[in-house]
Structure 1
Amino acid sequence: MDVRRVLVRGLVAGLLVPLGVAAPAWAAAPEGVAVGCGDTVTGPAYLATDLDCDGVGVRLGADASLDLAGHVLDGGGSGTGVLVTNPAGGGAQSVSGGTLRGWDVAVRSDDVWPPESEASVDRQVVDVTFRDNVTAVGWGRDPAWWGTLAVHGSRFVGNDLAVESFFHGQVTADGSTFARNAEVVVARASRVVLRGADLRDNDVVVALVGEGDVLVEDSVLVRNRVVVGGTKQWGSVRIERSTVRRSDVVVAPGGVESSTWLVDDVLTDNAVVVDLVGESGGVVGSTFRRNGVAVRASAPAEGLGPFQVLDSTFRRNGDAILTTGPVELGGNLVTHSTGWGVLAPGAVDLGGNVASGNGHEPQCTGVVCASRPRS
């Protein structure tokens, strides 16, 4: 034992306890100035205590960084928690390290037109908990041009809507958690990217896409009632390299001139995975296990691209592939469904499909299938 080290630790402890110091003496204090309700931040600032505010909690001006410092900024059910302005000259803007609770919109871009600046600005949300808000993030509200808001390592819990991206806005969320929200994403003429997300027990993950697109990649989705809802108009949704389990419906019908893609995903124990009518897109390189219905789809409406089911594996589902019309099928392995393996009248046969051990005969309708599973 190093006696000198023990003596030093004892001395430090003896100095701190009488002074009532909870944190080590060398712990860094928040940078900048303490702010109160309604303040406009320029430069670094922080919350010194929990705040209950009306109207606007804090405005972010030029080069503003707001450190919540572990505190709660509470709106009591109305108002805007952090209003991000678009000041002349631009400058980075950020909010980090605490909780935004009970706001109509917790983080919102200002919708003043014309904006003071159209300069490219680095805007970030880091390590923030959004709890019990009507809308957690409302970004790019028409008509201002807002660019990208980057969200890192944050938590969205119990909000009516987690992320709403408007005209010309883009929101990217990396390594964030979404739990028990009514809706997670609405994208209107804009883009939302969820990367490395954990999405659990939400009612609808992608609630609306209108002339925009949503990408969910490298994520885990568990016990969400619906993953991709039926309100899609001239938009696209892509779920890639993700795991989806125990949903009522993964991709629901109702899109207008839209496309949905499942690429390199693993989909397990869902009631229905794909249930589409007249949309383009498809399923590529994905694995379906123990789902009630894996793929149920009709051919896309005239003028849209194809709907494809390619190079995917279906094992021990209820019904595996149920399609009507010129849906393109190729390279799929379908085994041990309790109902239909491949029931695809009118399909476009791209070859390489294999089916065996499924509950209904014939094993394949609409395409030619080999009976021996691929090694």
Structure 2
Amino acid sequence: MIRLSRTLSSGWFAAVGATALLGALAPAPAAHAAQLACGQTVTTSIVLTSDLLDCPGDGLVVASSGITLDLNGHTVDGIGLGIGIRNDGFDNTTVTNSSSSPGVIQDFDYGVQLNPGASGNVVEELTVQVNELAGVELNGAVGDNQVRNNLVDRQSQRGITSVGGASGNVIAGNTITGNQGEGVFVQGSADSRIEGNQISGSGDAGLVLEGSSGNTLLTNTVDGSSDGAFLVRLGSNDNLIRGNSATLNADAGLIVSDSTGNRILNNTLQGSGDSGIFLQSAHGSTITGNDVRLNTGGIELNGSDDNLIRSNIASDTTGDGISLEDSVNNALEFNQVNSNNSGGIHVTGDAAAGSGNRLVGNTANDNNGDGIHVSKAVHTLQDNTARNNGSWGVFADPGNVDGGGNRASGNGQAAQCAGVVCTP
């Protein structure tokens, strides 16, 4: 489990506001040992001294701001109903476990739930397992709530959820394993930071943004999901997705659909059952510095316009390195698309004059098919290199624009290039 301190980056500090963050980190009143009963409200800082077993409804209910609830290595256990620890809008509380033995919350509908109005709370160092709907839920909770360094394991549905307009929160450093739904599910939530989580074995996608904008996804790992690793969909706009990794997921490494303005930077997405990055009706995104080798396809666009695809490695796939279908006004610049089982870059679909895709400075070598194949019109090819491909170095249908500077040699077709002039 990745351990994160209470200190966040200076940029994040500025984003949430110094006052709110300092309030969340203010010392809580001294805790006292307590033996509590199922369903009890907690109004002072306490340290549990015994387990709570077979709770028929809620386990414990936070009923005051600024307190700490320390599980102290004990278990809060339900019968499949209610909420393990519920906070209905109180601020600056901490639910933690100070013991070297696990502090466990299990067998409820929700393990921990922070509800509308709750801000500045911390949920940390817990083992949240075998609950029904979600392990931890931020339900309309706003303003620097932090869910960090927890083990969230084997929920019947989702691991961690952020819903109901929850915003400005942090989900960081958690180990999220074996949940039957999504590992992390963010719906209708904004301006949150999801960082350094290890998500594995999800029965659905690993990490999902749905109708959620302005979020930061940073250095998360997703392995072995039954769907895609990362899904960004249904109006999830202007998110930053940087430095994440994914391996051996059943669908694509990253799917962006019906969303605009996302920045997809320096991710490593490999071993996927589909493309490393797939854009469907996704516009105005920046896709740079990603490593999408060893997938079924590298980067795939369908009906997606005005995107920048620059300096990615889309090689060693079982399909095409980069493919565009019915997508216009995209810039493909300085990408490496080598040793793919099919082609390097494949562009299909007409474009009106002035709205074609621009292929500039790409390297397409050692592919089994064409290095670069551009059908229809009107697209621009300039300063690309295509060597030792199984068929054409560059093939462009009539009507495309030869921007000059294309180079080709050693390709299967003796003419090396068609539709543009290539030099060795």
Q: Same fold (TM over 0.5)?
A: yes
Query: Of 157, 160, 165, which aligns to 1:137?
Result: 160
Paired position in structure 1 for 2:312: 286
Verify: 1:351 aligned to 2:382, yes or no: yes
Verify: 1:190 aligned to 2:212, yes or no: yes
Greater percentage in strand: 1
Verify: 1:56 aligned to 2:83, yes or no: yes
Quick one: structure 1 residues 252 and 175, their matched pair in 2 at CA, closer, same or farther if it must change by over 3 Å? closer
Quick one: structure 1 residues 186 and 68, their matched pair in 2 at CA, closer, same or farther if it must change by over 3 Å? same
Verify: 1:173 aligned to 2:194, yes or no: yes
- Give the SS at the match of 1:125: strand
**8 Å contact from structure 2 (residues 229, 252) kept in 1:** yes
Paired position in structure 2 for 1:102: 130
Verify: 1:245 aligned to 2:270, yes or no: yes
Instruction: List aligned pairs for 1:211-360, cutoff 5 A.
Output: 211-213=235-237, 214-227=239-252, 232-235=257-260, 237-250=262-275, 255-256=280-281, 258=283, 261-280=286-305, 281-292=307-318, 293-300=320-327, 306-318=329-341, 319-324=343-348, 325=350, 326-345=356-375, 346=377, 348-360=379-391
Aligned-partner Cα distance in 1 for 2:256–2:270: 22
Q: Which residue identity lines up with residue 47 of structure 2 in the other structure?
A: A
**8 Å contact from structure 1 (residues 274, 296) kept in 2:** yes
Aligned-partner Cα distance in 2 for 1:139–1:249: 27
Aligned-partner Cα distance in 2 for 1:257–1:199: 22
Deviation at 1:257, TM superposition (A): 5.2
Deviation at 1:162, TM superposition (A): 1.7
Aligned-partner Cα distance in 1 for 2:291–2:393: 27
Q: Which residue identity lines up with residue 62 of structure 2 in the other structure?
A: T
Deviation at 1:273, TM superposition (A): 1.8
**8 Å contact from structure 2 (residues 124, 148) kept in 1:** yes
1:195-231 CA-to-partner distances (Å, cap 9, x unmatched) read: 1122222231233511113533112221122235667
- Give the SS at the match of 2:188: coil
When the two chains are superposed, the root-mean-square deviation of aligned CA atoms in Å is 2.9
- Give the SS at the match of 1:146: coil
- Give the SS at the match of 1:107: strand
1:118-140 CA-to-partner distances (Å, cap 9, x unmatched) read: xx632101211111121122213
Q: Which residue identity lines up with residue 45 of structure 1 in the other structure?
A: L
Gaps of 5+ in 1: 1-28
Q: TM-score, normalised by structure 2?
A: 0.69
Aligned-partner Cα distance in 1 for 2:247–2:290: 13
Q: Which residue identity lines up with residue 112 of structure 2 in the other structure?
A: V
Query: Of 63, 69, 72, which aligns to 1:45?
Result: 69
Paired position in structure 2 for 1:148: 168
Aligned-partner Cα distance in 2 for 1:257–1:314: 22
Aligned-partner Cα distance in 1 for 2:122–2:291: 35
- Give the SS at the match of 2:303: coil
Gaps of 5+ in 2: 1-30, 34-44, 53-58, 351-355, 411-422
Quick one: structure 1 residues 261 and 227, their matched pair in 2 at CA, closer, same or farther if it must change by over 3 Å? farther
- Give the SS at the match of 2:194: strand
Q: TM-score, normalised by structure 1?
A: 0.78
Aligned-partner Cα distance in 2 for 1:238–1:173: 15
> What fraction of aligned residue pairs are identical, expressed as a percent?
13
Quick one: structure 1 residues 228 and 306, their matched pair in 2 at CA, closer, same or farther if it must change by over 3 Å? farther
Quick one: structure 1 residues 363 and 121, their matched pair in 2 at CA, closer, same or farther if it must change by over 3 Å? closer
Deviation at 1:298, TM superposition (A): 1.4
Aligned-partner Cα distance in 2 for 1:91–1:298: 45
Aligned-partner Cα distance in 2 for 1:107–1:219: 22
Quick one: structure 1 residues 179 and 269, their matched pair in 2 at CA, closer, same or farther if it must change by over 3 Å? same
Single out whichever of 257-266 and 351-360 deviates more from structure 2.
257-266
Aligned-partner Cα distance in 2 for 1:207–1:285: 22
- Give the SS at the match of 2:222: strand
Aligned-partner Cα distance in 1 for 2:254–2:313: 21
Paired position in structure 1 for 2:17: none
**8 Å contact from structure 1 (residues 210, 235) kept in 2:** no
Deviation at 1:330, TM superposition (A): 0.9
Quick one: structure 1 residues 206 and 235, their matched pair in 2 at CA, closer, same or farther if it must change by over 3 Å? farther
- Give the SS at the match of 2:382: coil
Deviation at 1:239, TM superposition (A): 2.8
- The number of aligned residues is 329
**8 Å contact from structure 1 (residues 165, 171) kept in 2:** no
1:152-197 CA-to-partner distances (Å, cap 9, x unmatched) read: 2111111211222222434422222111112123323213432112
Deviation at 1:371, TM superposition (A): 2.1
Quick one: structure 1 residues 170 and 131, their matched pair in 2 at CA, closer, same or farther if it must change by over 3 Å? farther
